[in-house]
Amino acid sequence: MNLGPGALSKATSLLYISIVSILLAGGVVLIEGRIGFNPADEGFLWYGAEATLAGQVPVRDFQSYFPGRYYWSSLWMHLTGPGIVSLRMSNAMFQAIGLIFGLMLASRIFSNKTCLFLFGILLTVWMFPRHKLFESSITMMAVYFAVLTIEKPNLARLFASGVFIGLAGFFGPNHALYVLLSFMLLIAMIWFKTESIPMAGNLSALIAGILTGFSPILTLILFYPGLLESVIESVMSVSRNGTNIPLPVPWPWRVIPQLLTSTSLDVPQAAFQTFGSICFLAMPIFFGTTIVMTMLSGPGFWSGNSVLIASAVVGFFYQHHAFSRADMGHLAQVMPPLAIALISIPKAIGLDKIRTVRINTIFFIIAGIFSGLWAHDYYHYLKSKQAGHHFQEVKMGRDILWVISDQARLLGNMRQILEGRTENVSDAFFAPHWPGMYPALNRKSPVWEIYFFHPATEKQQRRMISDMEKSDLRVVIIGDEAVDGRDEFRFMNTHPLVWDFITRNFQEVWNAGLPPGYHLLTRKEAPRESLF
């Protein structure tokens, strides 16, 4: 779809795309890399990256995702130094790589530099939260490898795709599952449409590639005793508890009436929620319809619309991640396949030469950019500044962050609670959702768990209690939070044995300057009781 002068040549497209991707990812870090602090989910990644940098092994030595993202982050932190800003820079590096793959796909649709740049902004704006840039980047890589497989399904490309699947699994087993299912469906579709490729040979090449790509974690398992058992326990925990706590899907007929009846309408927020709700509706309809129509269409459609087909197949399986906890953050993590597929429609139906269609495509991109701005910290920083509520500077290790005043006061109170003990010790325990407080306050968790989301087994709880007894634990800060308003997810209900141990051996300190619902407990002077 050439929308005017400035078409890209093959010789310069990759260079242009690389420069644009680096500028976009780097620009986000430059603008908001020191704004905001999420002690929960971003803190979960930060703690793990710092622990990996210190020589610990993800999954085995601390609660974590699969090791890939931690070794990537710790590599860059080794080069640039520890700290949350270095972590955000490492995420941006991965984001830039993902954008390169995404814009390489878009360059097959747009041959105009301006349009390609605008689409890059759209992808960048909808790549959030910043601790989950791995997810959206991997989806773009998956679509790219799927396109290569559709266009030329030979053994070399199937092997390369298998390597990618294995490497994706190094960052998360869910990625390996989604991409593997996507390629299994693609291979079946290719065989059904062409009947000219050997199914056994393709599967063999794919499997060989997967084993090659998954070799990093197999190597870690070989050299680090206990990692295999921890990986199995982690996978079993996910199968037992699920990947996320589900939320009601924000369908447009739920979201839009609420916005229309709101007494204080924030236009950017309304655009954000409306655009997101439409995307939730569009995903299952569009992906499913595209796959069915592809199977019913002639060979010409298959050969000429590889980007659309690949985006639909990959997005079809990745939408499970968005619906597993149907909020905007999870939607954003799988937005790229949908965005890439949508800009592919005009070409697929032969309308890409019509001026009105071209203009509507640009309008869609601009609307998507505007709607995604509300999700970024810099927007809230500017809005708060305009309202006279300035962010405050807070020192976290070697970094200075700008955070809201309430959070600045909280961090100051926490430092006072732990003052006089500046070495990195296991003297504090934070629960349920503050893992970022450990690196922010130069602490390490006294137990393997750092994020308490799902009910723990009796074995897990007794292991936690044993670790607490062996540590130098003196301060406990626990939030009595009902996640999504559900009492069964309060810490005292998910970890009743640990809660009983804490209440027996620690006493509450009132007026500790913590947020409502959070409790500060200090160790009793009397000898600690044990449950064993």
Distances (CA, A) of 400 to 84, 335, 403, 414, 466: 9, 32, 10, 17, 36
Q: Which residue has the higher pLDDT, 342 or 196?
A: 342
Tokens 């990195």 sit at which residue? 424
Distance CA 429, CA 523 (A): 11
Decide: pTM greater than 0.75: yes
What is the bridge-based pairing of β-strands 506-509 and 428-431? unpaired
Task: Give the count of beta carbons closer than 10 Å to the beta carbon of residue 337.
Answer: 29
Task: Give the count of beta carbons closer than 10 Å to the beta carbon of residue 158.
Answer: 27
The mean pLDDT of 11-32, rounded to a whole number, is 93
Q: What is the DSSP letter of 261?
A: T
Taking only the tens place, the pLDDT of each residue in 203-238 is: 899 999 999 999 999 999 999 999 999 999 988 888
What is the bridge-based pairing of β-strands 475-479 and 428-431? parallel
Tokens 């270095």 sit at which residue? 86
- The distance in angstroms from the start CA to the end CA of the chain is 70
The mean pLDDT of 357-361, rounded to a whole number, is 92
Give the model's pLDDT for residue 121: 98
Q: With contact defined as beta carbons under 8 Å apart, do 453 and 245 qualify?
A: yes
Helix (H, G, I), strand (E, B) or coil at 453: coil
Our CA dihedral for 427, 431, 434, 438, rounded to 10 degrees, sits at 10
Our CA dihedral for 150, 152, 157, 162, rounded to 10 degrees, sits at 20
Helix (H, G, I), strand (E, B) or coil at 269: helix
Tokens of 381: 């920083």
Give the model's pLDDT for residue 6: 41
Give the model's pLDDT for residue 270: 95
Identify the burial level of 373 via C-beta atoms within 10 angstroms of its C-beta, where 0-12 means exposed, 13-18 middle and 19 or more buried: middle
Contacts 24+ apart (CB under 8 A), 67-75: 67/170, 67/216, 67/217, 67/220, 68/134, 68/167, 68/170, 68/171, 68/172, 68/216, 68/217, 69/45, 69/134, 69/171, 69/172, 70/45, 72/134, 73/45, 73/48, 73/49, 74/49, 74/50
Task: Give the count of beta carbons closer than 10 Å to the beta carbon of residue 19.
Answer: 11
Q: Which residue has the higher pLDDT, 59 or 4?
A: 59
Output phi, psi for 529, to 5 deg: -85, 155
Please give the single-letter amino acid code of residue 183: F
Query: What's the mean pLDDT when you consider all of the chain?
Result: 92
> With bands split at pLDDT 50, 70 and 90, how would you rate the model's confidence at 521?
very high
Taking only the tens place, the pLDDT of each residue in 249-305 is: 999 999 999 998 888 778 999 999 999 999 999 999 999 999 999 999 887 788 789
Taking only the tens place, the pLDDT of each residue in 370-415 is: 999 999 999 999 999 888 888 999 999 889 999 999 999 999 999 9
Distance CA 83, CA 233 (A): 30
Residue 12: pLDDT over 80: no
Give the ranges where 33-154 is alpha helix by DSSP (H).
41-53, 68-80, 84-106, 113-125, 133-151
